[in-house]
Amino acid sequence: MPVNFKSRRPLLIWDIDGTLLEARGIGRQALNLTFSKLFHQNAAFDGLEFSGATDYDLIRQASATLTSTINVRVFLTAYLQYLADLLRESPLKPLSGVSHLIPRLSQLGWPMALGTGNIRGGAYLKLGAAGLSPYFPVGGFSEPGATRTDILHSARQHCGYDNDTAIVIGDTPLDIQAGQELGLAVIAVATGRFTRQDLLDANANQVIDRLGDVSEFLSLIRHLVEQKSL
């Protein structure tokens, strides 16, 4: 069923880990390897909460025990190399339905961007290994001091959607909170570590068990748009 709008189609802002791609802890492994190589501390990122976190905030937390100041540029250069090596050995796979849904949305002309706690280089390494990077030319990424709300705002700005509707698709309560702080609707996907009930309790506008059904997904968008009278 076609979706009609009074203005242009809403921008779809996508999280990566646990939403588009399986979350297998490869980012944590690469961060731990980097910390071990540079500072001779093992498992520095074990015990940190990764769900909904940003790379810069995780690095800040892990480096809090260091007596020396961390050179973030050097750290991230090493991190990206370790991440690339790990992904060559074991590429992340798209979650069920994603490899069908995303190309179809792109074919239908839907504007899409990333809104992720990954740094830019890490995001595209992960998506590239899964064959999805061409569908997400722009987005908001982890930057020094940036919250998830800042990241979503940056994604809107890069796409020229400052005054237009956007919908966030993520898998954590922090995705929901960030989207709603900007007045955006959020479709939460129960494909990460949080259950459907967790996401409902976090006040997601819609919760689905998985991605893949194009008609169902577009119906959700149409419903959200009609609620906002756009």
CATH number of the domain bearing residue 191 = 3.40.50.1000
Specify whether 216 is located in the same domain as 107.
Answer: yes
Out of 46, 71, 89, a domain closes at: 89
Per-residue confidence in pLDDT tens, the chain, 230 aa? 344 444 578 999 999 999 999 988 999 999 999 999 999 999 999 999 999 899 999 999 999 988 888 999 999 999 999 999 999 999 999 999 999 999 999 999 999 999 999 999 999 999 999 999 999 999 999 999 999 999 999 999 999 887 668 999 999 999 999 999 999 999 999 999 999 999 999 999 999 999 999 999 999 999 898 876 44
| This prediction's pTM | 0.93
- Domain shared by 151 and 182, yes or no: yes
Q: Is the dihedral of CA 43, 44, 49, 50 positive or negative?
A: negative
Q: State whether 70 and 170 are in the same domain.
A: no
Domain presence at residue 53? yes
148 and 223, same domain (yes or no): yes
Q: Supply the range of the domain harboring residue 219.
A: 11-22+94-228
Does residue 4 lie in a domain region?
no
Number of domains in the chain: 2
Is residue 1 included in any domain, yes or no?
A: no
Same-domain status, 70 and 163: no
What is the phi/psi pair of residue 72, to 5°? -65, -35
| Last residue of one domain, picked from the residues 67, 89, 111 | 89
Q: Are residues 83 and 128 in the same domain?
A: no
Instruction: Please give the Cα distance from 204 to 170 (Å, whole number).
Output: 10
Which of 89, 120, 135 delimits the end of a domain? 89
Residue 174, in any domain of the structure: yes
CA distance 35 to 28: 11
Q: Which amino acid is at 87?
A: L
Beta carbons of 164 and 182 less than 8 angstroms apart: no
Same domain, 56 and 136: no
- Do 16 and 102 fall into the same domain? yes
Residue 7, CB-side half-sphere exposure with 13 Å CA sphere? 12
Do 81 and 117 have their domain in common? no
Distance CA 162, CA 164 (A): 6
What phi, psi does 15 have (nearest 5°)?
A: -75, 165
